[in-house]
Structures are given as structure tokens and as C-alpha cells.
Structure 1
Amino acid sequence: MFKWRTASLIYEDSTYGAGITPELVYILQGYNTRVTDSLALPIDATESYLDTLLYHLKENSTRVFIVHMLPDLAARVFHRASVANMMSDGYVWIATAGIGSAVDSLGPDRFHDMQGVVTFRPYVPATDRVMNFTVRFKERFLLENSGIRDVPNPSVPLLWAYDTAWSLAAAINKYSVSSSTPGTGRTLLGAVLNTTFDGLAGRFRLVNGQLQLSTYEVVNIIGKSARTVGFWTPESGIFKNLKATNEKGIKQILWPGDLAIAPSGWSMSSTGRPLRIAVPSRLGFNQLVEVSYSLRTNTSFVTGYCIDVFDALVKNLPYPVAYQYVPSTIYSSYEELLSLVFEKKADVMVGDTTISMSRMNKVAFTMPFTDTGLSMIVVLKKDSSGSMWIFLQPLTSTLWITSLAFFFLTGFVVWAIEHRINPEFHGTPWQQFGIIFYFAFSTLVFSHKEKLESNLSRFVVIVWVFVVLILTSSYTASLTSMLTVQRLQPTVTSVQDLLRNGDRVGYQNGSIVKYWLEEMGFHKKDLLGYVESPT
């Protein structure tokens, strides 16, 4: 609506805070809006930590901030932002419904720190029931807490809690559930899920265990209250008045600094100089980042996939940004480069940088746009395909001996059954021995020519032929695998194998792989850093 194309996201580092972050970034991209910073705040963040983070945001050009966190942490963030003069002209603060739902219960000090903030809250009509409840709630609260004078109005979550208690009471009354009845918990839960009524906060109806909310208010915090400037529904989007949903847009908003005109959403860097972009000047992985030098002109050229992504991002910003690449000293570590950003000697670092917890404690990372992963380079198993006896390896010695024994046993059993009734099994002892030997091995290729007279011998041969079929198929598959697949088998298949064997492991200098290996249990003496040769 206001043509903002960049925003910074500040969220609580918890399940609640990170839950909507991917979806929010995805939705904003659909509206051609980019999240330039995505910062997670610990719930117990100190004031100095908040000041450092806000100073970092203040140094950037983006002036639109989306805040998604619970009210307590949000109040501290807005207070430190007010101290940093970031609740003044040119800034835009948008808070999600977790903050907007609790606006009515905020104290005067918190209202003072949130002047001009735009937020959202579920729409609850100011009916007579709600007004009556509010009066009774305050009277009851003052009666039980005589030392408190100023009692805020009940917030939307409090009204939801009240309606939830009513739904539980209604379910018990309707279904007459007794605590002594078997399966009471499941029956009671089903009764609550099927309960619908008009509560204080609107129609109480659960779908898949979730309260269905159809309308939100867009509110602007001004003075000591929150002023409704519009509404939103899934069907109609944003509009000014509930009675005229076709009247799109919102009413006048007073932005931070009491500005009636919407801020541009960005400003030039407060330092007034081009951004200094630190680039790792390293050998290897030139497809990601490569720094080349010209001795004739004494200048450097920066190329690579990461550089192309950054250039495309800057060119699509709605405001001009001047920047210059500053290649680092060759072979310097990533920690040194990140320290330059942390110490404000450089504004940004662009390169193939792995995100880790220790690094996140120093600098803020953008959303990851690629994942290179980890790989090992190991020696392959010795190729044994050149041996003339490789055809013996698919079967073990015991299996070879057993197979030969069953060859002769099958031939002997068939001869014992057939030689009395079948002329083809007659002859001298040497001829009969030859028939036994020949018949047994001819079944290997299913080429035996002797006709069998006895059904019993036919049964023995059928069973043996089936065994031979399985044996030959397994032998062929194993020999084929040995001649092809085993040539590609590595000597080590996982890092755990190296750890168990106490092997020495090499890694690229400056890579975070070293710290991962140390955390896995490798000793420093077993880790060898290497530098890729220019040639």
C-alpha cells in the first residue's frame, strides 16, 4: 500500500517468534518486498545487546521494521529504540497481533515508547456485554488488589480466556459429564470442541482445535490509546469501515515523529560514504567467490556466484546504494573478516560463509540462499579386478566345498534310483562314475541329455535345478558387483570411522570444519590445515 520494498524483521528467538518467519518472508516476496535483515532476539536480551542490534539497524538504509514477539520483550525493544531516537521521523514500526492484542493492557510508559506504531488485533465489537464485563472486571480487580489504582481494560487474550472457561462450563452442563465416568477427559474434550456460542470476543467456534478469527483491526498507537484506522478480513482485504467493505485502504495514520505523510521507508547511510563490502580473497571454490588482480593496473576484480547474487539484490533496491568491494588479505580466516564487520571496519561481508552459533553472536546473517554441505575426500579401496582368480571371490571356500559336495551327492542319488531301471545308467563302473559326474555338472547349464524313468529321480532333479538357478544367479550378481560397484567403494564411509580409528584429518584453513571436528571429539594434533595451491 505504501510502496515499501525492503523491511527488517525482528523476532523473538523462541518457538513463537520463529514460527511465522519463513511464511512471512515468503509472503512478502510475493508482494515484491524483501527482508534485508532477519534478527532473532533472545528472550533475556540485555539492554546493551538491544542497543548494539538497534545501532546496527540504524546504520542500514532500511527504515521499515516488522516486530514479532511477545509484549514484554517488545516493550523493551521499543523503549531502547526510543532511547536510540529510532521512534522519530522517517521510521516505520509494524507490530504483529501478539503485541496488538495486548495494547489495551499496556501502561502509560509503554504507550509513550510506542508512538506511531501500527499493529493488529482481533476485532471485538464494543457491545453492552463487553462494557458491562469491563466494569465488573475492574471493580472486582480493585476489590482484590486495593493497592492498585489504574486498572487497564481487559485485553483480547483475557476475553478469549473468559470465553474458553464458558465453553468448558457449557460442555459440562450440556453433556452432564462426571469426573467418575470412564473416558471423561476424551468426552469432555470432544464436548468443548463441538461447543459454539456468542461470547464476549465474538462467535466462539473451534476448527481443528483453533479459534476461528474472521476480522482484524488495524490500529495506530497515538497518545495514550490505540486508534482503529482500518479492518482486515480474508475475503475483503484491508478497508476503512466495517459497514463499507468496498471502501479500500485505511484512515490517516500518524507515524513516528507525528508525521501524517507516510515515510519513504529508506534513507541514505548515516555515514554518507559508500558501503565497504569485505570479500574473502582465497584460493579454491572460485565458482562462489574469486578475486583476481591486475598487475598492470594494480586493481582487483571480484567475481563469482555470491557476488552476482549481491549485485542483483542491490540493483533491485528502490533506492540507490553506493558500495565498493574490499578484497581481504589472502588466506585470512573468515573469523577475521567477520570481526571487521563486527568492529565496523567493514559494513558487509559477501562470500561463501557458513552460519554458526559463534558467528551469529557477532554479526547478523541474511537468509541462507544456498547450501554447499560437507564432503570427504578419501582413498578408494584397492581394485582387485586385475586378479585372474577374481571369479572365485563371489563364493566363500566353505560354500564352494558345500556346492561341490551337493553336485556329487545329487548325481549319486539320481544314479542310485535310475541304474536298475534305466539302461542309460548302465555300463562299466568307470562309465557309471562318468555318468554320475557328467549328469551332476550338466544340470549347471541345464544341458543333461539322460532321460529319467523314475518320478522320484525327476523330483530330486527339479529341486536341485531350482537350487542351481538360485546359486548361479547369486554368483553372477556378486561377480558383476565386484567388477563394477566395488571399484567405487571408499575406504572410509563416515567421519565416525575416522574418529574410531584415530586417523588424521585434513581441512581447508579458515574453514569452520575445524571447529565441527573438534566438537565431534577429534584431537587438535590429528587435524591438519591445508592451503590450496594456486596451480
Structure 2
Amino acid sequence: MDLGNKTDVPIISFSATNPSLIPRTLNFVQTAQSDANQVQAIASIVKACQWSQVVIIYEDTEFGNGIMPYLFNALQDVNVRVSYRSVFPKSASDDFISKELLKMMTMQTRVFVVHVTQSLGTRLFLKAREVGMMSGGYAWIATSDLTDSFNLMDSNAVGAMQGVLGVKPLISKSEKLQYFTDRLIRTFLLANQDVRPSKASIFGLWAYDTLWALAMAAERVGNSALYSTRNEVNLDSNSGDCFALKPSEMGPKILEELLKTSFQGLSGEFNLVNKQREQTQYQIVNFVERDEKQVGIWMPSKGISKELNSNIATCYSISKENFKSIIWPGDSNERPRGWEVPLSGKKLRIGVPQKPGFNEFLKVEDDHVTNATKVSGYFKEVFESVMDALPYAIPYEYIKYPFFNANGSSAGDYDDLVYKVSLQENYDAALGDITITSKRSVYVDFTLPFAEGGITSMVLVKYEYVHDIFTFLQPLTKELWLATATFYISTALAIWVLGNRIITSSRDSPGQHAGMFGYFPFFPGGGIDGNLLCLVLVTWAFVANLLNSTYTASLSSRLTAQRLLPTFTDVTTLIKRREYVGCQEGSFLKDFLIKLKFDENNIRTYNSSEDCYEALERGSKDGGISAYYDVLPHIKMLVSQSCGQYKVAGPTYRTDGFAFAFPKGSPVVADISRAIIQLTEKGSILETEERLFSNVSCSGQDGTSSPNSITLRSFVVFFAITGFVTVTCLLVSLVTYLSKNQAFLQRMSDLNANVLWRIDALCKYFRESNPPSLPKTANSRDQIPRS
């Protein structure tokens, strides 16, 4: 490259695929496909198969190292983690290969991306088959260099690579390519009759197209330019270096024309973009016997599809459904899940916190007979339900993590347990009331939360009698009071109308009638007669007595009820008064309270709910606390167990809830999170919670709210009945009256008087038990009797 730069002559390579070569020199032209293109295809395969991590195997040469930064970036873009990098020397011994493969067998990851040359790749797969890594559950992906060499391998190496996936640039079939291949095979057989012929490699096709492109560029430059440069390379007589070279005048012209060259070659469209071969599609093949079975096509714009001209994906698509059927290692049709519990017979070690108190959700005990760890509680049942919901079985066992030593001193906390999971020395995962925090997420990966999050406080309640001068109005709502008054007045009016003619005192003065109007609904008088009047009175009496009884009961309840008020509701008040607050020992809550500006000396920790209750009863002045802070599920449990003695108070601070913790990059996290979602959607987790905690709450205890006011809706039916009866009786009375006094009404209609006077005359006539008769003729208003 230095020589090309010095002489200004283009350097053309049809075999170099390292993406980092282009930036090094201005005159370098890469007519082979850059490895920066195939890494996108490899990343798409890994993502489509839903693998979360891979192991990369490559040789320690410029060929092997050059692609690595691009491969890492491509995998990172699809959220795939490289769990291990295995670097092989180009001349690695069989013993080195075996030891490295056995080391990888002890890891969880079962997906391997191999980027080595043919010579090293052949020995690698032979050893992999020997140690048992070409069986079911493993997945291997070979890069283009090794894939293109598959048809050159012997039968032993081909047998070792069964089920491997490979990627290589797609070479479209054409008559020109077929003619060239047939001619190449015939020529090869003439010289090597005892050797099985093979197809032309992709590098051979790139070389053929490159020579054609260079010839076409030189032809356009012209012969004159060639002759003008015949003396460019000569000795500089003034220089001490006899090999000093002058810059070429023809080199830039050749480079310029070469970059303009475009034609349909044997390997496809020849077109250079930024001095590189234009990005093309990649073929995804599956090694089955001696064949390279095409199972998919990767296209830069569409992703993976089954066929080149497939119209299924109109946008970029990465899905396992876009593959044809694949035969995986071990002659398996089932896609490997990408990870396994390493070493046969080993169980997943689940760390569970052992502590003396706060065991309502998870209880860890020692079985002294079997010397085993007994685990019970809500968290354990949820975890086992999730593991049962996985599409595969994972053996696991519970390993206790004690928070306290035998002498009572602290042995660790939740943060320590999470950190030990990250080390994977004694624990492979952890379950319990482990809240997702940013600090813990640095060391482990959390599943999706299976329980609600949040931090709040509970305080002791004080009892207070509710007394108000308007308490007597509170049993009924405003609407019910208004409806009662309305029906009272309307019923009184109806009773007065119906009983006016038959009550003995009906001839009293108007003032006396007005007084009687007010108490008619309750005391209608002694000489009551008439079925209609009785029916209205009976209906109203029923509704009035029912309303009176309900009102009396509600008022009595209000006068004797106590209201439960929290002793503290404001965090600021607790901080200003320097009140003591408590939290669970070993949790992250102490650090949280310090961030809320509580003095560290005013924070007390407790190991059990009994100690917490006792501290709240004593209060800050007597060596206790004024408020206890904990995560929301714990607070709800403690409040429900207290039967009204404590109450949730203050704001609820949001957290991400409880989750299971696994080491960074653990492939099981995604599957467990999906299982949690499925169980949550089906309601299984909620059913488990209700089954375990349904007997905790205190039945019949509700001192936290006053009796509700009685609404109009409760009496709307009764008001409708009394209204209907009253209106019906009035209509019947009116119809009866009109039918008996038709003559009087006829003479009224003949009078020459206004409407108001007629109504007044009618009312006076209706009030009379024996009304005087009207004159037969009424030519003037003076002839009408007046009261």
C-alpha cells in the first residue's frame, strides 16, 4: 500500500475483505464484498432466532481481528450480548482447540459464530464433534470465508459440520455463469482426472470480474496514455536511491475510470461505491450432507426472507418465520434456545434470604432432619409458577442466604445477596422481596416485576368523635331533603283537597285552614271519611315511617361513630420535628429515607413486624417511632393485620416493584419475563395472592370512614309510589266531582266573566257542603252570588 501511495498507482484487491483497509490509503480499491456487510446478516440471524447472547470464535490474525469491531457493533444494535470471545492462534494445536471447546461447554451460551480460515475451521469442527458440541441444543454460524470453502472440504470435515448455518454473498444464476462453470470444470478434468471438481469460489468470480473491469478502464484511458508513461519509471540521476520512483500520471486516470465502471459480471452487478463493492444480498445456507441448502436470503433493505423476490416483507423484517426449514446439529428440527444449564446434572442455585422476621411473603427455615432448606410463602409459589410456565424444564434448588449470624450480628443484606448473584460463586439467581433499583441493576439483570412497587408509610391512628351543629342534616343528602320536602307539601295539599268537604272543621277561618295544612300528613283529624283520603294517608304514612326509621338509625350512627385520624401525614412535619422513623433492616429503605432529608440518627431499623408495631405504639418520645416506611406490599400487609390500629399515611413514592435477579446477560431472563407477563394476563399471580392473604384482613372492622349519607336513589321507588297514589286519588276525586256537578259547571260556562273569577267561584263552590244555586241567567256579574 505504501508503494501505491508513493507512485500514485491504484491497488486493487479481490480477496481482501477487511473493512478497515479502505481508510488507510486513497488508492486502495476493494472489489470483494466487505465483511462490514455480512455482519449485518449474521446479526439478523441471531435476532430472528431469538438468541440473546453468543460466543465468537476467531483466529488471531489480521483476517480474524479486522471484522470484530463491526461484528460487536452489529450484535449490540440488535441487543445481543457477546458472552465470551475465544481467540485461536492460526497454528493452534489440537490440544489447545480441545481445551478451549471444553471451557466453552461449561458456559451457558450455546450459540457460536465462527470466523476462521478453512484450515483452522476444519480442525475446529472435527474437535467440536469429538467433545459433543455438534449435538442437539447447539447452534453454529460460519462466516462467508468458511462457508465458501465448504465444497472444498473432505467428507470427514463435511460430516462434522452438519447442521451449521453459513452466510455468503448471493450469486444469482445466469447463462453466462453456467457457461463459465461448465468450461472451468472441463478444463479442470482434463488436467486432474482423478480429482472431484468443485464449483468456482466466490473469490475466483470476484477476480474474474475485477480483471474485466480493469481491462475496460484501461481501454477507455487509451493507448496514448500507456505510451506516454513508458518512461515514468526510471532512475533519478540526482538521487542516491537507485530505486526511487516517480508518481504515475496514468494511475489516477485508471482509478477514475475504474470507479466509473459498471457491468453485469459473473458474481453479479459490478459497481464500486466509495472504492468498495456495492453492498449485496447474502445467502443463508444450511449444511446438510454435502449440500448447501438455502434457507433464507438477507437483503439490506428488507432483512430476511425465504426467497429473493419475496413480497411478504414490505419493510425490514427479522423473524424466524422468514426461514425455510432448518436441520440443526444433532439432526434436530427444533430451533436451539441458545443456552443451557452448564454441565449435566447441575441445578440452578436460587438464593433466598433467611431472616428472623417479616416472613409474611417468604419464609426460609432449616430442616434439621434432612439438613435441607425449606422455603414457603407467596414469592416461592409465584417463582415456581413462573418456572412451570417456561416452555422447557430448568432444574433448580434453593440455597439460603442468612442475614444474621448465630450471635445476632449482621451477615449481609439484599444488596449483598444481589452482588453475590453477579459473582455466580454460590448463587445463580435470587428471589424474595428484592426491589429493582439502579444500584442493583449495575450487577444483575432483573426480570419484569411480578409485584407492585412503591414506598409509603404507616402511622398510629387516633380516635376522634365527630360533632357538628349540623350533624342532624348529614344523614340525608341535599337531593333527598329536597325531595322529602316537596312530597310532604304536595301530599299535604292533596289531603286538604280530598278531605276539605268531609272534615267537620272545614268551615273554620282561612288562618285555621293554613295551620291544619301543615300537619295534615301526620294528624289529618278525627272525622276522616272517604276511601281516597285513606289510601293517600296510608301510602304516605308508610313512606314517612320508613324514612323516619332510616334517618334515626343513620343519625345515631353518626353521633356515636369515631373517626380514625393518622397521627402524622406530612413528611416535612416529621423531618422538622426530628421525629424518629423506622424501616426494615437490610433493605435499601434506609438510604432512601436519607435522600428524603431524614437525619440518619433518627432512622431505626427493625427485624420483625412485632417490633415495628411495638415501636409505633411507644412513639418517638418513648423510644419508638412516629412512622414506619416500607415497600407498598409490606405496608398493606402490616395495616391489614393491625385491624384498624394503623393507617397508611403520606405520599407513595414510585419504585419498580419486586423481581427475580439473575447474573448479567443471563439468557433465561427474557423467557422468565415473558412467563410473568403470561401469568399476569391470565390472573394466576393475583389468584395466588388472594388465596394466601384472603384470611389476613379483619372482618367487620372499618373505622376509617364515617357512615355514608342516604341518597335519593334509595327512596326514589317509594316516592314514586306515593306520588302515583296521590295523583291518582286526586284525579278520581276530580272526575267524581265533575260528574256530580255538571249543571253547575254548565251555568258557569254561560256566565260572561273572566277566567280568574270563574276559578274563584268554582273554589268557593267546592268548599261549600251545600252551595247556593246560581241564577238561571247571568247577564251581569252582580247576579252571581259572592262569598
Match of 2:255 in 1: 189
Are positions 1:171 and 2:237 aligned together? no
Give the Å deviation of 1:138. 1.6
Match of 2:98 in 1: 51
* Mapped contact 1:122–1:213 kept (Cα < 8 A): no
Match of 1:311 in 2: 444
Structure 1 segment 106-505 matched on structure 2, within 5 A = 106-146=153-193, 148-177=194-223, 178=226, 181=229, 182=232, 183-247=249-313, 249-273=322-346, 296=407, 309-312=442-445, 314=663, 317-319=666-668
The alpha-carbon distance between structure 1 residues 311 and 192, as it changes in their structure 2 partners (threshold 3 A), is same
Match of 1:82 in 2: 129
Unaligned runs of 5+ in 2: 1-47, 233-248, 350-402, 424-439, 446-661, 671-787
Distance in 1, matches of 2:126 and 2:410, equals 47
Question: What secondary structure sits across from 1:37 in the alignment?
Answer: strand
Distance in 1, matches of 2:91 and 2:666, equals 34
Q: What are the Cα deviations for residues 360-380 of structure 1, in whole angstroms up to 9, with x where unaligned?
A: xxxxxxxxxxxxxxxxxxxxx
Q: What are the Cα deviations for residues 122-146 of structure 1, in whole angstroms up to 9, with x where unaligned?
A: 1111211111111111222233345
Distance in 2, matches of 1:272 and 1:201, equals 51
* Mapped contact 2:83–2:665 kept (Cα < 8 A): no
The alpha-carbon distance between structure 1 residues 293 and 54, as it changes in their structure 2 partners (threshold 3 A), is farther
TM-score normalised by length of structure 2: 0.36
Give the Å deviation of 1:310. 4.6
Kindly provide the amino acid, as one letter, of the partner of residue 114 in structure 2.
V
Which is higher, the Rg of structure 1 or of structure 2?
Answer: 2
Structure 1 segment 58-69 matched on structure 2, within 5 A = 58-69=105-116
The alpha-carbon distance between structure 1 residues 80 and 250, as it changes in their structure 2 partners (threshold 3 A), is same
Match of 1:19 in 2: 66
Kindly provide the amino acid, as one letter, of the partner of residue 153 in structure 1.
K
Give the Å deviation of 1:293. 11
Distance in 2, matches of 1:97 and 1:195, equals 26
Kindly provide the amino acid, as one letter, of the partner of residue 121 in structure 1.
K
Match of 1:433 in 2: none
Give the Å deviation of 1:71. 2.5
Distance in 2, matches of 1:261 and 1:37, equals 25
Match of 2:27 in 1: none
Q: What are the Cα deviations for residues 449-506 of structure 1, in whole angstroms up to 9, with x where unaligned?
A: xxxxxxxxxxxxxxxxxxxxxxxxxxxxxxxxxxxxxxxxxxxxxxxxxxxxxxxxxx
Give the Å deviation of 1:299. 9.7
Give the Å deviation of 1:186. 3.1
Give the Å deviation of 1:38. 1.1
Question: What secondary structure sits across from 2:312 in the alignment?
Answer: strand
The alpha-carbon distance between structure 1 residues 90 and 192, as it changes in their structure 2 partners (threshold 3 A), is same
Distance in 2, matches of 1:79 and 1:218, equals 22
Distance in 1, matches of 2:258 and 2:295, equals 35
* Mapped contact 1:236–1:245 kept (Cα < 8 A): no
Match of 1:418 in 2: none
Kindly provide the amino acid, as one letter, of the partner of residue 214 in structure 1.
T
* Mapped contact 2:53–2:83 kept (Cα < 8 A): yes
Distance in 2, matches of 1:297 and 1:67, equals 54
Question: What secondary structure sits across from 1:219 in the alignment?
Answer: strand
Are positions 1:41 and 2:84 aligned together? no
Match of 1:514 in 2: none
Match of 2:681 in 1: none
Question: What secondary structure sits across from 2:668 in the alignment?
Answer: coil
Distance in 1, matches of 2:119 and 2:91, equals 10
The alpha-carbon distance between structure 1 residues 16 and 310, as it changes in their structure 2 partners (threshold 3 A), is farther
* Mapped contact 1:51–1:80 kept (Cα < 8 A): yes
Kindly provide the amino acid, as one letter, of the partner of residue 311 in structure 1.
V
Q: What root-mean-square deviation, in Å, do the aligned CA atoms of Structure 1 and Structure 2 show?
A: 2.9
Q: What are the Cα deviations for residues 493-526 of structure 1, in whole angstroms up to 9, with x where unaligned?
A: xxxxxxxxxxxxxxxxxxxxxxxxxxxxxxxxxx
Distance in 2, matches of 1:257 and 1:129, equals 39
The alpha-carbon distance between structure 1 residues 180 and 113, as it changes in their structure 2 partners (threshold 3 A), is farther
* Mapped contact 2:286–2:295 kept (Cα < 8 A): yes
The alpha-carbon distance between structure 1 residues 171 and 26, as it changes in their structure 2 partners (threshold 3 A), is closer
Give the Å deviation of 1:271. 4.7
* Mapped contact 2:142–2:164 kept (Cα < 8 A): yes
Distance in 1, matches of 2:667 and 2:408, equals 34
Match of 1:30 in 2: 77
% identity of equivalent residues: 33
Question: What secondary structure sits across from 1:136 in the alignment?
Answer: helix
Match of 1:100 in 2: 147
Kindly provide the amino acid, as one letter, of the partner of residue 112 in structure 2.
F
Kindly provide the amino acid, as one letter, of the partner of residue 298 in structure 2.
W
Count of matched residue pairs: 305
Distance in 2, matches of 1:179 and 1:266, equals 65
Distance in 2, matches of 1:83 and 1:265, equals 20
Unaligned runs of 5+ in 1: 277-291, 322-535
Which shows bigger deviation, 63-72 or 233-242? 63-72
* Mapped contact 1:129–1:200 kept (Cα < 8 A): yes
TM-score normalised by length of structure 1: 0.52
Match of 2:235 in 1: none
Distance in 1, matches of 2:165 and 2:276, equals 26
Distance in 2, matches of 1:297 and 1:156, equals 72
Question: What secondary structure sits across from 1:241 in the alignment?
Answer: coil
Give the Å deviation of 1:5. 1.2
* Mapped contact 1:111–1:225 kept (Cα < 8 A): no
Give the Å deviation of 1:275. 8.3
Q: What are the Cα deviations for residues 340-362 of structure 1, in whole angstroms up to 9, with x where unaligned?
A: xxxxxxxxxxxxxxxxxxxxxxx
* Mapped contact 2:341–2:347 kept (Cα < 8 A): no
* Mapped contact 1:168–1:192 kept (Cα < 8 A): yes
* Mapped contact 1:236–1:246 kept (Cα < 8 A): no
* Mapped contact 1:105–1:155 kept (Cα < 8 A): no
The alpha-carbon distance between structure 1 residues 209 and 315, as it changes in their structure 2 partners (threshold 3 A), is closer
The alpha-carbon distance between structure 1 residues 48 and 296, as it changes in their structure 2 partners (threshold 3 A), is farther
Kindly provide the amino acid, as one letter, of the partner of residue 187 in structure 1.
K
Distance in 2, matches of 1:129 and 1:298, equals 83
Question: What secondary structure sits across from 2:293 in the alignment?
Answer: strand
Give the Å deviation of 1:210. 1.0
Q: What are the Cα deviations for residues 158-187 of structure 1, in whole angstroms up to 9, with x where unaligned?
A: 111111111112222222252652523333
Distance in 2, matches of 1:295 and 1:185, equals 84
* Mapped contact 1:8–1:64 kept (Cα < 8 A): yes
Give the Å deviation of 1:110. 2.5
Which shows bigger deviation, 105-114 or 6-15? 105-114
* Mapped contact 2:163–2:329 kept (Cα < 8 A): yes
Give the Å deviation of 1:229. 0.8
Match of 1:288 in 2: none
